[in-house]
Homo-oligomer: A and B are copies of this chain.
Amino acid sequence: MHPQIVVAIGLVAAFCTTVSFIPQAVKTIRTRNTSGISLGMYVLFTTGTLFWFIYGLLSHSLPVTLANGITLIFAGIVLFYKIRYH
């Protein structure tokens, strides 16, 4: 398969997984309903995203740093609301 198609698939993947936490953050801010949300997931996921962010910085990878920096903000918002409003 043409290398540029593979790169395009990677970019679509990165875009989707990065922006996916925005609708969750918006819903959580609006409803403050975090009952169905797993605290364990968001502690693990936010920790993992923070490590990816640090990994991106240390390996001088702008895509990894940028994507995980954005995800960290929105996943962090959901984690904050989950801790604050149970």
Contact = CB atoms under 8 A, between A and B. Distances in A.
Kindly state the interface size class of chain A when it binds its partner. Answer: 35 or more
DSSP class of A's interface residues: helix, strand, loop or mixed? helix
Given A16-B51, A33-B35, A45-B17, A58 B1 contact: yes
Given A9-B58, A51-B12, A35 B35 contact: yes
Given A33-B36, A36-B34, A6 B44 contact: no
Interface string A42-86: 101101111110110011000000000000000000000000000
Contacts of A16: 44-45, 47-48, 51
A41 B55 contact: no
Interface centre among A10, A28, A34, A38 (most CB of B within 10 A): A38
